[in-house]
A and B are shown apart, each in its own frame.
Chain A
Amino acid sequence: MHIPDGILPIPITAGGYAATAAATWYSVRKIEQQENPRRHVPKASLLTAAFFVVSWIHIPVPPTSVHLVLNGLLGALLGYFAFPAILIGLFFQAVMFQHGGLTTLGINAVIMGLPAIVAHYVFRMRRLGNHDSRTRTAVFGFFSGAVALGISVAMFVAILLGNLPADFDPAIERAAVYTLAVAHVPLIAIEGVITALLTTFLRRVQPELLDDV
């Protein structure tokens, strides 16, 4: 899911940085509008660390393997804090794990960060009709985790297929991209379940963590 250096043309990577700058600015602005933004920093910081580490956890899905992303979980639990959290996590992943690259940091933040904000709004839908039950938390938690990763995979596929390189055989590359996308289908369900389990667990033991999201 992390696009490394040298894969995309410069205009796309530059556009990714521009979109990331705009999304970061908007997220910070929304964070500043909150009553007490500092209150969420510990939660955001710990989830940044979790996001950073989970990309190291590979799940074999023959003929390939995928790794956890958890951008939907961050979106559900952090709201607008998710975008800067994912950006920081991606930076450390690129520098230390060589997951992604510095030139593609912007486009990777778009691919994983923007769906996290969508997940935030999906998770908030559990409160529609002022009926916030455990079941609704689980259902919307599942969908926030699944939808975010689904959108990320769709964006990843669209960006790659829209920028197939001239020097490589496009048919082989296209088939490989589709294979990788299909391999993410089980992961979409897994991340939905993880998000549902964690949100319902937090709702039970520390409901104030879900108060503002």
Chain B
Amino acid sequence: MHTKWNIALCLLFLAILGLGLPTPALAHGARIQYTVNVAIELVATYDNGDPMAGAQYVIYAPDDPSTPWLAGECDDEGRFSFTPDSSRPGTWVVQVRQAGHGDIVHIPVGQDTTVAGSTGGYTTLQIVLMAACVVWGSVGTALYFSPRRRG
């Protein structure tokens, strides 16, 4: 009789163990990890506003400014984008070139990351004012050196 109860208890224990086995033990703490991979979008245009369609670009990482990190071609609207390696903070250099024309932009990535930036950067009004100053300087020079008529 005693032995019969022992066998029954053993079977019950095994059954409970068997039911519980497929489910792993759950801990009560949780952890979330995240990594920000910011994609940088660039638009290359000529100064008259035309896109640099099909222009080539080369990107240099901050720790190796002589070896291209990535190279490619702009789309028809002069756009391209890249996601810098977040483990290499610093100033990324992007050069765009087409038929001997082009520009270089320095993009800080890391703590100094800026939301937007550009090269060049005079407004049309500023350019017109500066051009007017130069033209006036030339006209003034012409007037100064022009032969004076004695009346």
In the complex, whether B97 has a CB less than 8 A from a CB of chain A is yes
Q: How many residues of A contact B (CB 8 A)?
A: 39
In terms of DSSP, what is the predominant structure of the interface of chain A? helix
Report how far A173 CA is from B139 CA in the complex, Å.
41
Q: Which of B46, B97, B131, B143 contacts A165 (CB 8 A)?
A: B97
Chain A contacts for B9, CB-based, 8 A: none
- Please report B residues at the A interface, Cβ cutoff 8 Å: 46-48, 50, 53-56, 58, 68, 71, 73, 95, 97-104, 120, 122, 127, 130-131, 134-135, 138-139, 141-143, 145-147
Known: A172-B56, A176-B99, A177-B100. A98 touches B47 (CB 8 A): yes
A39 & B147 in contact (Cβ 8 Å cutoff): yes
Interface pairs A-B: 10 shortest CB-CB: A49-B138, A42-B142, A41-B145, A176-B99, A180-B99, A45-B141, A45-B142, A160-B100, A42-B146, A49-B135
Q: Which of B120, B134, B143 contacts A92 (CB 8 A)?
A: B134
Report how far A38 CA is from B144 CA in the complex, Å.
10
Known: A58-B48, A96-B134, A98-B120. A45 touches B145 (CB 8 A): yes
B97 & A168 in contact (Cβ 8 Å cutoff): yes
Chain B contacts for A173, CB-based, 8 A: 56, 97-99
Q: Which of B103, B127, B141 contacts A4 (CB 8 A)?
A: B103
Chain B contacts for A172, CB-based, 8 A: 54, 56, 73
Report how far A92 CA is from B100 CA in the complex, Å.
20
In the complex, whether A83 has a CB less than 8 A from a CB of chain B is no
B134 & A6 in contact (Cβ 8 Å cutoff): no
Contacting residues of chain A (31-70) with chain B, CB-CB under 8 angstroms? 38-39, 41-43, 45-46, 48-49, 52-53, 56, 58, 63-65
Report how far A180 CA is from B53 CA in the complex, Å.
13
Residue in B closest to A88 when the chains form the complex, CB atoms: B138
